[in-house]
Amino acid sequence: MRLSHLFGETLREAPADAEFISHQLLVRAGYIRQLGAGIFSYLPLARRVMDKIENIMREEMNAIGGQELTMPVVHPAEIWKETGRWYQIGSEMGRMKDSTGRDMVLAMTHEEVVTDLVRDIIHSYRQLPALIYHIQTKWRDEPRSRGGLIRVREFTMKDSYSLDRDWEGLDKQYWNHYRAYFNIFNRCDLPTIAVESDVGMMGGKQAHEFMYLTPIGEDTLVICDACGYTANRQVATFRKPEPEPETPQPLEKIPTPDTKTIADLADFLDIPQSKTAKAVFMVATVTEGQEDVQKFIFAVVRGDMELNETKLANAVKAKALRPAHEEEIRAIGAEPGYGSPIGIRRENVVVVVDDLVARSPNLVAGANEEGYHYLHVNYGRDFTADVVADIVAAADGYACPQCGAALRTVRGVEVGNIFKLGTRYSAAMNALFQDKDGTRKPVIMGSYGIGVGRLMASIVEEHHDDYGIIWPITVAPYHVHIVALKGGYEVAERLYQQLQEAGVEVLYDDRREPSPGEKFNDADLIGIPLRLTIGGRSLKKGGVELKRRGEKESQLIPVDEVVTRVQDEIRVMTEAIMEKKRAFAESLPRR
Q: What is the pLDDT of residues 8-56, one digit of tens each?
A: 999 999 988 898 999 999 999 999 999 999 999 999 999 999 999 999 9
Split at pLDDT 50, 70, 90, the class of 88 is confident
- DSSP H helix total and E strand total for the chain: 15, 31
Q: Where is average pLDDT lowest: 175-189, 282-296, 526-540? A: 282-296
Give the Cα separation of 112 and 85 in Å (integer).
9
The answer, yes or no, to whether residue 204 has pLDDT greater than 60, is: no
The answer, yes or no, to whether residue 148 has pLDDT greater than 60, is: yes
Residue-wise pLDDT tens digits, 450-486:
999 999 999 999 999 999 999 999 999 999 999 999 9
Q: Dihedrals φ, ψ of 419, to 5°?
A: -135, 135
* 197-206, 214-223, 567-576, range with greatest mean pLDDT: 567-576
Identify the pLDDT of residue 205. Answer: 66
Residue-wise pLDDT tens digits, 405-426:
999 999 999 999 999 999 999 9
Identify the pLDDT of residue 288. Answer: 82
Identify the pLDDT of residue 299. Answer: 97
Identify the pLDDT of residue 199. Answer: 61
Q: To which H or E segment does residue 539 belong?
A: helix 536-541
In terms of Cα–Cα distance, which of 371, 365, 358 is closest to 252? 365
In terms of Cα–Cα distance, which of 15, 41, 96 is closest to 453? 41
- Residue 544 DSSP SS3: strand
Mean pLDDT confidence for 81-110: 93
In terms of Cα–Cα distance, which of 11, 170, 128, 44 is closest to 507? 44
Identify the pLDDT of residue 144. Answer: 78
In terms of Cα–Cα distance, which of 125, 112, 120 is closest to 72? 112
The answer, yes or no, to whether residue 206 has pLDDT greater than 80, is: no
Distances (CA, A) of 62 to 6, 55, 57, 509, 545: 33, 10, 8, 37, 40
Identify the pLDDT of residue 589. Answer: 79
Split at pLDDT 50, 70, 90, the class of 197 is confident
Domains and CATH numbers, the chain: 3-236+409-461 (3.30.930.10), 252-389 (3.90.960.10), 474-578 (3.40.50.800)
Long-range pairs, 430-435, Cβ under 8 A, ≥24: 430/119, 431/115, 431/116, 431/118, 431/119, 431/122, 432/119, 433/122, 433/123, 433/124, 433/125, 433/127, 433/128, 433/165, 434/123, 434/124, 434/125, 435/125, 435/165
Identify the pLDDT of residue 501. Answer: 97
**Partners of 2 in the beta sheet?**
508
Mean pLDDT confidence for 67-94: 93
Give the Cα separation of 141 and 318 in Å (integer).
19
The answer, yes or no, to whether residue 105 has pLDDT greater than 90, is: yes
Give the Cα separation of 480 and 229 in Å (integer).
42
Q: What is the CA radius of gyration of the chain?
A: 29
Split at pLDDT 50, 70, 90, the class of 200 is low
